[in-house]
Amino acid sequence: MAAQSRQQTTYRRVVHITHAYLGPAADRFIDRQVRNHLNKEPEDITLKDLSHLTDWIRLAVSLLTDDTEVVEEYIGQLEQLTKETRRQKA
Amino acid sequence: MVWFVILTVITVGLALGLPPDPQTLHNLHITSLAYRAAIAVLLIPFGIIWYSAFYAFAKLSEYSRAIKDTADGKAFQKVMMGAGVLAFGLIVPTIITLILQNIAIHHPHIKPAITILSNYLSIAVVIVTFAFIGVGARYLSSTGDLHRPSLIGTYIFSFVFIILSVLFTYLVMHFHVHHPNIYYLNTGFLLSTFVVPYLFGWCMALFGAYEFWLYAKHVKGLLYRQALQQFAYGITVVICGSITVQFVDNTIAARATHSLGAILILEYIMFTIVGVGLVLMAMGTKKLKKFEEV
């Protein structure tokens, strides 16, 4: 139960970060990345998936904008989340 | 886009194929050939505008289908329906008017009925289009954090709308008094079934544009906001351009009897504005749709 809650938090935190860039499209965007590239249900993502998911997100967002600063800022926040989650787990 | 091709072919065929009204030729002091040439020239920008409208409608249809089960999907579905009515509303009334005007050449006694019918048809298109867009704007703004219009924004909106209303009413009444057989309605009917519905439609549209603009300014999501702002600018330009077209068509243009060139230039400018708005709308929608594809 605790593990499930942690996983859910990870997903929610990814969506929360994404919301600052994609607004109302954030949930749908993350759900699609997880389902299409990780072949999982969005709520089932774990810490192990975060780094892989970040790579896919970088690729996808690069298709949405030419502004590399925005892409790097967004990806930086996702990488920071990965580090924090790892630290919490340790 | 199939509908665009079908309706454009029908319109071009009718506009160039049907004989022109001798009274119009007399008023404009031109020959039948010159009249047809002018119509052909006028049809080019009209074709571009119609294409832009159907293109924007197609993009909005694709986008609203992609997000149909979401809160903003409901809003975009309404806007898409408004864009659809606008696209069809640009061509279908033209076709009906062309046919009816041709009938009126042979049966002059029904000309008043045809003028009244054409005017009411245009009003219906305006009301339905702007109602859908207004409802869509309201749905969209209700999905995010509520932002009240600023006091200065409300004052500017009210001021512009009052000026527009007074000027429109003045011009309609001026032409009605000086040229009794223009609208073929008595003063009471003219005000209540012509002026008021137009003003109501424009008020809905301007308010909808303001709500779009307000939502696009405050919505969360840097990239989403950029795309939505482009869409909101587009829809605002389309609304303002459409109002200008309707304003001029129902006051100055219909009453100008001597200068076809001036009317053409005026129509070109106004339709260019609407076209730019439609392109902006379509581009914004394309960007929004991309968020749902990658």
Of B72, B222, B287, the CB nearest to A24: B72
Q: Which domain holds residue B251?
A: 2-291
- The full set of domain ranges for chain A reads 2-89
Which of A25, A32, A60 faces B221 most closely, judged by CB atoms?
Answer: A25
User: Scanning every residue of chain B, which has its alpha carbon at the shortest distance from the alpha carbon of A74?
Assistant: B222
Is some CB atom of chain A closer than 8 A to the CB atom of B225? yes
> Contact A14/A78 with Cβ under 8 angstroms?
yes
Nearest CA in chain A to B218: A23
What average pLDDT score do residues B142-158 get?
83
Partner-chain contact B70 A29, CB within 8 Å: no
Are B107 and B178 in contact, with CB atoms under 8 Å apart?
no
CA nearest to B294 within chain A = A60
- Say how many domains are in chain B: 1
The whole-model pTM stands at: 0.85
Mind listing the pLDDT tens digit for each residue in A18-41?
A: 999 999 999 999 999 999 999 999
pLDDT category of residue B83 using cuts at 50, 70 and 90: very high
- Indicate if the pLDDT at residue A8 is higher than 60: no
pLDDT at A90 over 80: no
Q: What is the pLDDT of residues B52-82, one digit of tens each?
A: 999 999 999 999 999 988 888 999 999 999 9
Contacts of A56 in chain B (CB under 8 A): none
Task: Give residue B260's pLDDT.
Answer: 65
> What is the value of ipTM here, to two decimals?
0.87
Report the pLDDT value the prediction gives residue B281, as an integer from 0 to 100: 93
From CA A78, how far away is CA A15, in angstroms rounded? 10
Confidence (pLDDT) at A2: 46
Which pLDDT score, from 0 to 100, does residue B292 have?
Answer: 93
A11 touches chain B (CB under 8 A): no
How far separated are the first and last CA of chain A, in Å rounded?
A: 19
Cβ-contact B131, B214 below 8 angstroms: no
